[in-house]
Amino acid sequence: MRGQFQYNTTAMKSNVLQNKKAAQRVFVAMSGGVDSSVAALLLRNEGYDVVGVFMRCYNLDGCAERDAEDARRVAEKLSIPFYVWDFEDEYKKKVVKYMVDGYRKGITPNPDVMCNKEIKFGLFFERSLALGADYVATGHYAQVRELKTLRRRRIRLWRKNSKLKTFGLFQAQDKNKDQSYFLWTLTQDQLARCLFPIGEYLKPEVRAIARKAGLPTADKKDSQGICFLGDVSITDFLKKYIRTKRGNILATSGAKIGEHDGAYFYTIGQRHLGISNIKYPAGGEARMGRQKSKTKRDAKPFYVAEKDVKTNTLVVAEGKDNKELYKKEIELTDLNLINPSYFLIRANKKIRRHELRVLARVRYRQPLSAAKVMGQGSGVKLIFAKPQKFVAPGQSAVFYSKRGELLGGGIIL
């Protein structure tokens, strides 16, 4: 906290004030929640020409209509233009299909990352600029800063034209709400046109601003989970597209200890397997190193350690600290370097390898851990100082500098 909070729009944060000129037009993605509502309010009060846009995407529980109405009411309160853009078909193709296809292949996709890449900073971003926007803004908890002096020489080497500005994407002030993990696919061209007005505010401050301004979304509950599913479980949703198929659950020793209804529906690290027949068959205790005298109360929970959709098999490890649940090295694909100038730091020409020490995470909200990004040929590895738990192929691994700058990320293989 920065002492007693006072609502003062003249003290706007640096990521909003970058190179602003009078009446520059900003298209704000308004979801109908408090965060994007306050983003629009702050920008309007700073003198921007603000246009509110609600993106109608695929939704299962009907909340999209309510959210659109909430966004419209906020726009009316702020006296700004408001539009609804229909991206439902594109969302189904670029996000929903991506997720279903990913589970069908046996990986754990991240629809939030894909929504940001393809919809918010894809379709919405491009249409906004085409309609004359100078910037686009969202209610993400993240920060954009121009890098004025940092590694000036390397930045010039990378961009060649030293007149071009270089931007960094940083963690939010509120570390409990930080959403930079989901924004690792952003590029320099996009960051130059992005504003994240609430990135340097804490969540209680955002709600206080909304209440003081009388915004109708001030006390609206935050959305949880995958946005388009609502109260529908991901397993129930996937079963509409992928058939159930009985398969074996194996212990790490190879002993069969139960059955499941399809390896597609599970992810690495999952504890609640949705079954009630995990048991130790005759002789299974010995094969697993378990003492026969142990009671059911002594048993530790099982977690998915491996999955194979080709054989329709799950391998589970007993106990949350089981070594089978940890990995120290992971390979990445689809790498995106937000600020490639960092990766000019070290280069061994003999082996053509690049190395960068970072702080990284492989899951949202996971504590950052020391690691090295190693580039060799066309491959990239992330090597942690200490093994990491529940590393799921298909999820995003992202890495930061010690200053909290998001350097880039990739998809876990």
Give the C-alpha distances (Å, rounded to integers) separating 399 from 42, 114, 345, 357.
30, 18, 16, 9
Distance, in Å, from the CA atom of 282 to the CA atom of 261, rounded to the nearest integer, reads 23
Alpha-carbon dihedral angle through residues 145, 147, 148, 153, given to the nearest 10 degrees: 180
User: How far is Cα 89 from Cα 76, in angstroms, rounded to an integer?
Assistant: 28
Query: For residue 217, which amino acid is it?
Result: T
Burial of 168 (0-12, 13-18, 19+ CB in 10 A): buried
Q: Where would I find the H helices in 224-380? A: 234-238, 284-287
Whole-angstrom Cα distance, residue 169 to residue 405? 6
Query: What are the b/e assignments for 82-105, b being 16+ CB within 10 Å?
Result: beeeebeebbeebbbebbbebbee
Phi/psi at 112 (5° precision): -65, -40
Q: Can you tell me the distance from the alpha carbon of 121 to that of 191, in angstroms, rounded to the nearest whole number?
A: 10
Among the listed residues 57, 63, 194, 227, the single catalytic one is 227
Residues pairing with 356 in the sheet: 373
Active-site residue, selected from the candidate residues 57, 63, 115, 194 = 115
Is 194 labeled as catalytic in the residue annotation? no
Please tell me whether residue 73 adopts helix, strand or coil conformation.
helix
Strand boundaries in 10-81, DSSP class E: 25-29, 49-56
In whole angstroms, give the CA distance from residue 116 to residue 321: 34
Describe the strand order of the beta sheet including 25-29 as a list of residue ranges: 82-86, 49-56, 25-29, 135-137, 194-195
Known catalytic membership, residue 63:
no
Q: Concatenate the DSSP letters of all residues of 109-121 into one string.
A: --HHHHHIIIIII
Residues tagged active-site: 115, 227
